[in-house]
Structure 1
């Protein structure tokens, strides 16, 4: 069920972010792309825009 899946993902992310060796952390200046309300095309275009800006 979706609730169990979402909880599993949250648990995994918490373990990854809080482990003692190589915790999963975004580097300073990293972009965060929230695709919740985006189409695939919109998400790809945003990534390409960030890439072209560098």
Structure 2
């Protein structure tokens, strides 16, 4: 038997994703939060418009 088990292949550093995806994810979350704010603003405006009709 070798010194590595079959599951060790996945734990090798070369097979791990780069940490940079955390930065991309946080940028995507910020973008999504801005879009949610825009949608909420539009919803409030439509609601106010419907009250004024």
The TM-score normalised by the length of structure 1 is 0.36
Higher fraction of helix:
2
Q: What is the TM-score with the length of structure 2 in the denominator?
A: 0.37
**Greater relative CO, 1 or 2 (CA 8 Å, sep 6+):** 1
